[in-house]
Structure 1
Amino acid sequence: MRQALRQLAGRVWWYPHDEDPDNIQGGVAVISDPAGSVVVDAGNSPSTARRIQAAIEAAGLPAARRLIYTHHHWDHVWGACAWPEVEIIGHRAGARILEVEAQRSWSHHYLRAEVEANPRLGPSFRGRAWAMPSWEGFTVVPPHTEFDDDLTLPGGVEVRHVGGQHAEDSTVVAVPDAGVLLLGDCFYSPPLHLRQAGDGYAADLVDRLMSEYPEGRYDWFVDSHSPPRSRQSLRDLIVSG
């Protein structure tokens, strides 16, 4: 799927998620900065990362200088090896997980063997196989810069660990001058292979974030696998979910 970046608000641009549920590709944000753009999440594969790089160039935005992981899940980090000259930033807990992931013998054969051993991994591992027609040059890349609680980057981008049931290292990224909060998957239920009956959206986390990123200053709350949402749209989702 070939997409174009669109300007969301101020200097925040958005490369949309894939609506095909078999192609587990989340949206990726690009925060323009004359000193080098900040990319939020790496894409689900090197080929997706290269499409995003082409979209950055086509939009006339500065080349990427930094890349932030919202969390360690594969569809947010597997494109990182196609961003060789950027500083990758991620939470310390996710970094330890990715160091282990980097040692696995990733291949279609490995994916099939893992699903045979644990069928609940099927949706995730089939998505990985779909995303990776070739494994040549692929590697999982742990972050170069780790943080524990929060971090403010040059240019004013704010990175903050929030945790939650979806991933222990879930991180949000705030762009105060644009009124945008990038949520990753932080309020989602646990991954399918870990999900239990009754698991749903983390409404308490959403309520806390809406309070801490107040109305009038933050107008966009953007999760990875949906179109960008207004504050009210996110409230409606949580109430109905």
Structure 2
Amino acid sequence: MWLFPGDPDPLAIRPTVAVIADERGSVIVDAGQSPAHAREIRAGLAAAGLPAPRWLVYTHHHWDHVWGACAWPEVEIVGHEAGVAPLRAEARRPWSHRHLRETVRAEPRLGPSYRARALAVDSWDGFAVLPPTRTFTDELTLPTGVRLRHVGGRHASDSTVVLVPDSQVLLLGDCWYPPPAHLRGPAEGPDLAMAAGLLTDDVRWYVSAHDAPLSLAEARAALTG
């Protein structure tokens, strides 16, 4: 398994992307937060000599996890069915820097997210928001043995965790994070009960999208400390 680490600056909103390389066809987990980000990941894959992905898995529908998908035209996009409707709605919006500015003027609470989007996208030529082309409801195992499980939660209704059995890695996306800032109440924090429920001796490493990977021991200590 190969990780393209996220940006440690929280204002960048640039998550970690994972690739599970396999001779049967590689799986990329999350698309990158822009076509430019996806192109960096492509270059990294080529430099590492890893096979191109055949499947792209969305951990959830938020922009920073899906906006790079249009730069992966050859892959099958897999996501939970609850993400289809919001992504179709996003796909109909007239994305441009002008649209971002006008939306923030109308809804100032969206400012941090929309400013990050404006910085992420260098060109809107060919840009598109893509819903999944293959959906599931509860669990799905890809031909490579990678397992997807819907966990939902307050961050996103379609949150999905991705288990890589051979590596004993669980990719968490943002599933245990609080709701996005513009939807978050003043007392809402991380979903620690969900995080604790995902701990198991069958997993050695836990990888969240905006934090450093944690070993099982580190994750247990973080939740009990």
Q: TM-score, normalised by structure 1?
A: 0.91
Q: 1:50 is matched with which residue?
A: 39
Q: Quote how far apart the aligned CAs of 1:239 are.
A: 4.5
- CA 1:106–1:239 in 2, change beyond 3 Å: closer, same or farther? farther
Task: Within 5 Å, give how 1:1-241 maps onto structure 2.
Answer: 12-210=1-199, 214-215=200-201, 217-239=202-224
Distance 2:106 2:184 in 1: 18
User: What is the total number of aligned residue pairs between the two structures?
Assistant: 225
The answer to whether the 8 A contact 1:201-1:238 is kept is no
Amino acid at match of 2:186: A
Superposition CA RMSD, Å: 1.1
Q: TM-score, normalised by structure 2?
A: 0.97
Distance 1:227 1:200 in 2: 19
The answer to whether the 8 A contact 1:157-1:174 is kept is yes
Amino acid at match of 2:16: G
Q: Quote how far apart the aligned CAs of 1:198 are.
A: 1.2
SS at 1:14 equivalent? strand
The answer to whether the 8 A contact 1:35-1:62 is kept is no
Amino acid at match of 2:11: D
> Residue by residue, what CA displacement relative to the aligned partner does 1:105-137 show, whole Å, maximum 9, x if unpaired?
001111111111111111111110010121111
> Residue by residue, what CA displacement relative to the aligned partner does 1:117-158 show, whole Å, maximum 9, x if unpaired?
111111111110010121111000110101111100002100
SS at 1:18 equivalent? coil
Distance 2:38 2:219 in 1: 27
SS at 1:177 equivalent? coil
> Residue by residue, what CA displacement relative to the aligned partner does 1:43-64 show, whole Å, maximum 9, x if unpaired?
0000110110111111111111
Distance 2:140 2:150 in 1: 9
Distance 1:118 1:87 in 2: 34
Q: 1:6 is matched with which residue?
A: none
Q: Quote how far apart the aligned CAs of 1:85 are.
A: 0.2
The answer to whether the 8 A contact 2:24-2:143 is kept is no
Identity of aligned residues (%): 57
Distance 1:138 1:60 in 2: 27
**Unpaired runs of 5+ in structure 2?**
none
> Residue by residue, what CA displacement relative to the aligned partner does 1:77-115 show, whole Å, maximum 9, x if unpaired?
000000000000001010111011100000111111111
Amino acid at match of 2:37: T
Distance 1:22 1:209 in 2: 27
